Amino acid sequence: MLTVRAPATSANLGSGFDVFGVALGAPADVVRVERASETTISVTGVGSQYIPEDPEKNTVGAVADALDAPAHIRIDKGVRPSSGLGSSAASAAGAAVALNALYDRGLSREELVPIAAEGEALVSGEAHADNVAPSLLGGFTIVTRDDVTQVDASIPVVACLPETTVSTRDAREVVPDRAGIEDVVDTVGHAATLAVGMAKNDPAIVGRGMDDEIVTPERAALIDGYDRVRDAALEAGATGVTVSGAGPGVLAVCRRSSRRAVASAMLDAFDAVGIESRAYQTHVG
Ligand code: HSE
């Protein structure tokens, strides 16, 4: 039996749609594997009732296939499905690390990124790696068609998850096909700023780089109370706020000294529109 802890992640960070991702200190999935002649999957923990245990339909089944590593796989979910914190990616990344070790495949964490991303294709219809990469590599990751760049950033964040859900498929349907050149120029500028902020471990610069006028406004419209929560977080000292992944989670970047106040403001703002939520006071890491 081999056990791996796989962290939640937040993709996009506003200006880096399908490119940027960060690993979070909490929550996390725990994946246990043991050798078997055929893959079986059992799932417990938060939201487990919504996750298929059929290996043909579960992200980790695709990972076991890709590594030719049949196993009894037990997933203890700490990352709630459809919350915007890379739930399926955490399970896929954890399974990839665990099965690689169990069968002595000898692949590096970087080499496991496309394998874990195969699992993502099952869930969203596309094999994008902006959640699996940070879950596997930690810190801040930049995923392009050809490669992954990783930075060991450590930035305080609050991830606030409303009780509502948004499916990644639905959230991808509202992404515009095209963008105007002014919005593209602004977004490139913000993305570059954000990456520098991560390299410098500076929450103020990261926050300045989170603005995005192309995808985020469409996604925000799917989240009840989003504007109120964003404004409350900024008022309480957040340096930047955006939709976490496909939503409905909301991610705020802040200084360590204001993290508690930001979390409290976000919880109160969701509460004011009649939505229960849970806030993780954590960090990129
Ligand atoms: N970049 C992807 C999206 C991540 O925002 O659709 C989904 O988890």
Which atom of ligand 1 is the closest one to the Cα of 175?
Answer: 6
Q: Cβ–Cβ contacts within 10 Å for residue 143, how many?
A: 24
Handedness of CA 269, 271, 272, 275 (dihedral sign): positive
Question: How far apart are alpha carbons 19 and 142 in whole angstroms?
Answer: 5
Tell me if 168 CB under 6 Å of ligand 1: yes
Question: How far apart are alpha carbons 136 and 98 in whole angstroms?
Answer: 11
pLDDT tens digits in sequence order for the chain, 285 residues long? 999 999 999 999 999 999 999 999 999 999 999 999 999 999 999 999 999 999 999 999 999 999 999 999 999 999 999 999 999 999 999 999 999 999 999 999 999 999 999 877 776 667 789 999 999 999 999 999 989 999 999 999 999 999 998 888 889 999 999 999 999 999 999 999 999 999 999 999 999 999 999 999 999 999 999 999 999 999 999 999 999 999 999 999 999 999 999 999 999 999 999 999 999 999 999
Tokens representing 10?
């937040």
Q: Is the ipTM of this complex over 0.90?
A: yes
Q: What are phi and psi of 31, to 5 degrees?
A: -115, 125
pLDDT for res 128: 82
168, 175, 215, 218, best to mutate for ligand 1 pocket (most atoms within 8 Å of CB): 168
Question: How far apart are alpha carbons 127 and 140 in whole angstroms?
Answer: 19
Tell me if 120 CB under 6 Å of ligand 1: no
Question: What pTM, to 2 d.p., does this model score?
Answer: 0.96
Count how many residues are written for the chain: 285
Tokens representing 79?
């990352």
pLDDT for res 164: 94
* Ligand 1 centre distance from Cα of residue 18 (Å): 6
Question: How far apart are alpha carbons 245 and 11 in whole angstroms?
Answer: 4
Please confirm, yes or no, whether 110 is among the known catalytic residues.
no
Tokens representing 155?
């930035």
- CB-based contact 67:100 (threshold 8 Å): yes
- CB-based contact 251:10 (threshold 8 Å): yes
pLDDT for res 168: 80
Q: Cβ–Cβ contacts within 10 Å for residue 110, how many?
A: 13
Measure Cα distances from 74 to 1, 32, 57, 58 in Å.
10, 5, 15, 12
Tokens representing 168?
């990644």
Tokens representing 269?
């703002």
Of the candidates 124, 122, 130, the residue with the CA atom closest to the CA atom of residue 147? 130
Classify residue 24 by its DSSP letter. Answer: E
Question: How far apart are alpha carbons 195 and 15 in whole angstroms?
Answer: 10
